[in-house]
Structure 1
């Protein structure tokens, strides 16, 4: 299958809604007609595998899988038949080959195998050395012998787990189970036996793992089996081994390994049992149903709780999301941090198959998780990668959703001097016009106004002029509500749209720009922001510093660069759309929004974050914004979707 068809298929598999030809044409930088031809060709390729691409006029395309197993066979056949034809694919292929090799591999043989020149291969090896460095492994080159990876066996296994398998399904999916069987030289039936005994042993020992962690543990056990058979064993410092043997997880690992030794007819030395223990320590969950904060105190040590609280303080200080007091979030962070700290201690990386989806669908939660990760770095010198950050983002995202669910309609009292009939008329009109936005909790005569329960309402609607100062806002209307009265009430209730206008002033909006690189865009927008605000001289460096932690391209042609910490005198966005998509790390981008948040602000910015979230997640909205030719049409499109 051609590379372009493969990218289109991946876009369909990644998307939760329909995908338009216009969006695909911008991602691939080809015409919509070419995309339509590609989809016809792709449909032909999929037709024998119980899968097709359905077109809905005015909406777009979406993937329909009628035979799940046949479709997986198609995906497996594609991965088998294709040699790597991009730099990323070559790096993955070469790294996998080197990690699984027991002897030297000649450069000429590698070049011939994947049909590239030695000079191209040398460029790829630079990237491979950088990847191996993350695992404290080195790529040695010996004249007349070739290339070989050197380093600690434990680190090598972590790297094998990360780069030798493509597994995104829950449980031993047939596609990656076949991969595993070939790599560890075991049959699929034996691997299924190992999987089932692993489930049974964990159940008997009351150990709870997530589906992803279960998959990872299974793969690591299979890797251990292969490496032991090849004569490679884990070396641990005696002090580390003693500490591991004292953990409750060691007893579970011992029980698991006894059964595995019988099934595979292999002996696991003590260090290998410790290796399995490390994985249990790095993945074990606590069933947190009905778990109280006091229970967390019993389970978690003081350092973990203290760290979680510092993370929440930092998130609240930087983003003011109002989730600091969320007890469920505190518990979730505490339960996640302990195994995460164990993973860091033993150099264990964790794969997060949801990484791209989390970044695309929960950009604010991911940003908050990055801020939390910086606390770990500064307090404990623990530096975690994007995969780990994304798991933190899941807990934070859930807290943000809970916070939104608590946003009930605004509560009001009606004050009317004309009697119950007039008051009821006002009430019914309000409930008809603002049924989801306003809840009328009571009515009162003017002379009883001081008896109104001010602490349980948000404002008063009064047909009587109110001269005295009250603890809640008063909206004065006529005894018979007219259009001007309704507009006055709507303005009060929907003040969020006014805020959105404030966030996107016309002088900060640059449409249809001709920039061709990420750097050009960042420096242009940073320069414009500095001209209009008192920002530090090294402001652009601070924006690049944030990009270095993780790219701010979130998918759907959108990037939202920003400094790590709030620096501005007010909160605002500086936006540009581009004539053509540009490369932003591994994504295409055509809509760029430089975000500046007021330092030490106590404002609730949820309206703005909600707006940015809609932009990131709505391909149709992005297409409308990119095509806007003037500020008014651009702004009206945003307001219409707010």
Structure 2
């Protein structure tokens, strides 16, 4: 059998082909993914490429649904191809175009001298024309960093611009070129990249490994993992970012290139403990590498760590939020009055459109304050907030994303800071997690959650799991690195992880942070629990029938009612829904208890109260009611009392009521319509006002 041409197959595809050739039985995509430490979706994408390549070489990839993938070829053909793959070194592997471009960028950025085109032709085995085309692509890539690729004949290529921007590009290029999951796996195991077999399993090309070796990432990973474990608690993304940042800083310092900004404008907002840690770390770098970092570099390091650091683990945050309601004074002490004021305004705005109960969700307020605490020094720290789930978030939580998008102006008013789409995605995730919590009941079974994508992602995943499986207990939430390096033991029955892992004697479900239906099915199969909820996308399918004009009907309207107290007002407003068997009597008591416990926050608009309680407090069916009072009643609200009309919301889940609530919020901004509602004495007139002003739900 003649030799095959492997052109068109990148490193990972060749490794996938190698695994398939070594087996005589079908291999499922999830098993292939585990072996390569990639996601099943990435494995299926590469299998499509392998299938095309096999077809061009007169071979067939058999796909058996529910079983796996198998190469259909004679044994001697398989042996010939297997031998060819096994004898190949990294030098023979063809880099895909995007990897090649990242490698060129990294080479130029980390080279102390200009790099000539011939060096790339020789190292990458490509033509001069291809190199020049890649350099044009690099020109465009550098624009977002305000950097420029300088090219001169007989001189070479060099990237020029602000030093902070150059370092930002260095770190981003390494993360994008090598892959965050690969970097996590390398940095989680000391010296793992020195072993050829380990890097082969990860699918990292040798040129990238050599760059990581030169940057001494094992030294910086060891410091952040072991020596100062008590100072910082980092998400996996921020851990990788900090390691690469330290390595890049040291690399540039060894060449005598420094950042000179003294950062005086944000120095007062730094965490004192992190400031001390940065100074110690600067001293260690000086001793280890024989370079003396100026004070400006130490301050830069402090600023970067303040934004990257998570002062509390997700597990601790969840525990605190379950056992206590933190007072405003406590939150001000933790995050400052400016940040708390911003978080409160965002929550107030979102509660009007998503669910009024968000106003009293202490967990949401604390999480938002923690997340937004980086804003005072966002511009100078240059830590990019990437949200790998942005596309999924926009699709799965479109209405919530729309509301979060409108919070951009609130942030700008407070800090004159623009937030990115990725940041909006994270706000959406916090809101979505809070909405999911509306459906939570008691939990029993023990589950450990491992999430490598940060706090917002973890919170959303935890909330989705709790809603889908009300009979489980989330015993801990950790990053991959936190779990891998943990010394104490935790008892659990199941691990749900967003990153491929293998654990002896413990079932593991690899899940999307949005908990796809198949992920839930896998968990259900292992826990042997029945399905208790529906997907968010399932619940949003019939949103059009849940608009305001379809929920408030003639028999859920009461007008010109005489009452003597706010308690009686609540009872009278809930009575039509109770009479129509849409709520239970305990729901009315729950609404009163909520006002007693949390105050008159339900008086959202002037003269108008939006009464509600939680879905599990006695709602039988999604419903809304409308009542006006003959005599205005005081609920105790400083600005919006006295109350002349009341809406009652009975939500059954975390999203089906949103179209009606959005329409109601829009309607109440029309003062003329609001006035007509307060003064009308005809239920038909009320229905016509709702119908005339009912808009299509946000898609």
Q: Indicate how the Cα distance of structure 1 residues 184 and 4 shifts in structure 2: closer, same or farther if over 3 A, else same.
A: closer
Instruction: Give the distance between the partners of 1:221 and 1:187, measured in 2 at CA.
Output: 9
Q: Is the 8 A contact 1:139 1:149 kept in 2?
A: yes
Q: Does 1:473 align with 2:574?
A: no
Matching residue of 2:331: 296
- 2:438 matched residue in structure 1: 403
Partner in structure 1 of residue 166 of structure 2: 156
Instruction: Report how far residue 303 of structure 1 moved.
Output: 2.3
1:286 aligns to 2:311 (yes or no): yes
For residues 19 and 273 of structure 1, do their structure 2 counterparts lie closer, same or farther at Cα, with a shift above 3 Å needed?
closer
Change (3 A) 1:495 1:284: closer
User: Does 1:168 find its partner at 2:181?
Assistant: yes
Instruction: Report the Cα offset of residue 331 of structure 1.
Output: 0.9
Q: Is the 8 A contact 1:329 1:395 kept in 2?
A: yes
Distance change (3 Å), C-alpha of 1:17 and 1:249? closer
- Structure-2 separation of matches of 1:398 and 1:264: 45
Q: 1:574-593, aligned counterparts within 5 Å?
A: none
The alpha carbon displacement at 1:334 in A equals 0.7
Q: Distance in 1 between matches of 2:620 and 2:167?
A: 58
Task: Determine if the alignment matches structure 1 residue 141 to structure 2 residue 135.
Answer: no
Change (3 A) 1:568 1:122: farther
Q: 1:332 to 1:34 in 2, by over 3 A?
A: same
- Matching of residues 598-617 of structure 1 within 5 Å: none
Conserved in 2, the CA contact under 8 Å of 1:236 and 1:271? yes
Q: Name which of 322, 328, 340 aligns with 1:305.
A: 340
**How many residues in Structure 1 have an aligned counterpart in Structure 2?**
415
Deviation at 1:155, TM superposition (A): 1.7
1:256 and 2:284 matched: no
In the alignment, does 2:234 pair up with 1:209?
yes
* Residue 195 (structure 1) aligned with residue 226 (structure 2): no
- SS where residue 320 of structure 2 aligns? coil
Match for residue 333 of structure 1?
A: 368
Cα distance, 1:274 vs structure 2: 1.5
1:168/1:567 CA distance change after superposition, 3 Å: farther
**Distance between the aligned counterparts of 2:116 and 2:429, measured in 1?**
44
Q: Does 1:344 align with 2:379?
A: yes
Q: CA 1:245 to 1:286, structure 2 compared with 1: closer, same or farther past 3 Å?
A: closer
| Structural mapping, 1:532-547, within 5 Å | none
CA contact (8 A) 2:354 2:400 kept: no
Structure 1 residues 436 and 300: CA distance shift in structure 2, 3 A:
closer
C-alpha distance in structure 2 between counterparts of 1:84 and 1:568, whole Å: 54
**Cα offset, 1:224, TM superposition:** 1.6
Paired with 2:356 and 2:262, the residues of 1 have a C-alpha distance of: 44
Of the three residues 376, 380, 383, the one matched with 2:418 is 383
Q: Name the CA distance, whole Å, in 1 between partners of 2:89 and 2:419.
A: 33
Within 1, Cα distance between the matches of 2:621 and 2:271? 59
Question: 1:153 deviation in Å?
Answer: 1.8
For 1:163 and 1:20, the matched residues in 2 are separated by 20
Give, in angstroms, the shift of residue 278 of structure 1. Answer: 1.7
Report the TM-score when normalising by structure 2: 0.47
SS, match of residue 374 in structure 2:
helix
Is the alpha carbon distance of 1:4 and 1:341 closer, same or farther for their aligned partners in structure 2, counting shifts above 3 Å?
A: same
The correspondence of residues 68-79 of structure 1 with structure 2, limited to 5 A, is: none
> Any conservation in 2 of the 1:314–1:375 contact (CA below 8 Å)?
no
Cα distance in 2 for residues equivalent to 1:193 and 1:105? 28
Answer whether contact 1:241 1:271 (CA < 8 A) is retained: no
C-alpha displacement of 1:402: 0.9
Uncovered stretches (5+) of structure 1, i.e. residues with no partner: 44-52, 64-73, 409-434, 438-452, 461-468, 476-491, 497-564, 571-597, 610-642
Q: Is the 8 A contact 2:353 2:665 kept in 1?
A: no
Instruction: State the alpha-carbon separation in 2 of the partners of residues 117 and 310 from structure 1.
Output: 57
**Equivalent residue number for residue 627 of structure 1:** none
Cα 1:395/1:114, change in 2 over 3 Å: same
The alpha-carbon distance between structure 1 residues 337 and 40, as it changes in their structure 2 partners (threshold 3 A), is farther
- What is aligned with 1:85? 96
- The 3 A distance-change label for structure 1 pair 470 and 215 is closer
Pairwise CA distance, 1:254 = 0.7
Residue 236, structure 1, aligned to residue 261, structure 2: yes
Q: Secondary structure at the match of 2:181?
A: coil
1:399-548 alignment, distance < 5 Å: 399-405=434-440, 471-474=578-581
**Correspondence for 1:183:** 211
2: distance between equivalents of 1:457 and 1:568?
A: 23
Is the Cα contact below 8 Å between 1:311 and 1:371 reproduced in 2?
A: no
Task: Report if aligned partners of 1:140, 1:149 keep a CA contact under 8 Å in 2.
Answer: yes
Deviation at 1:208, TM superposition (A): 2.7
Whole-angstrom distance in 1 between the partners of 2:692 and 2:114: 56
- Between the aligned partners of 2:113 and 2:301, the Cα distance in structure 1 is 26
Mean Cα deviation higher: 331-340 or 263-272: 263-272
Please give the alpha-carbon distance, in whole angstroms, between the structure 2 residues aligned to 1:109 and 1:381.
46
Aligned partners of 1:121, 1:180: CA distance in 2, in Å? 18
The 1:78/1:155 distance shift into structure 2, 3 A limit, reads farther
Q: CA deviation at 1:299?
A: 1.6
Q: Secondary structure at the match of 1:232?
A: coil
SS in structure 2 at match of 1:183: helix
Instruction: Output the CA distance in 1 between the equivalents of 2:304 and 2:64.
Output: 47
Secondary structure class of the residue paired with 1:164:
helix
Q: 1:197 to 1:348 in 2, by over 3 A?
A: closer
Asked if the contact 1:105–1:148 (Cα under 8 Å) also holds between the matched residues in 2, the reply is yes
Alignment check: 8 A CA contact 1:454 1:472 kept? no
Is the CA contact 1:321–1:400 (under 8 Å) kept in the aligned structure 2?
no
Contact 2:266 2:377 in 1 (8 A): no
Q: Tell me the equivalent position of 2:243.
A: 218
Distance 1:359 1:38, change over 3 A: farther
Closer, same or farther in 2 for the Cα pair 1:38/1:252, shift >3 Å? farther
Q: Does residue 94 of structure 1 match 2:104? A: yes
1:146: Cα distance to partner?
2.7
The one-character-per-residue Cα deviations of 1:539-591 (angstroms, maximum 9, x if unpaired) are: xxxxxxxxxxxxxxxxxxxxxxxxxx999999xxxxxxxxxxxxxxxxxxxxx
Change (3 A) 1:20 1:105: closer
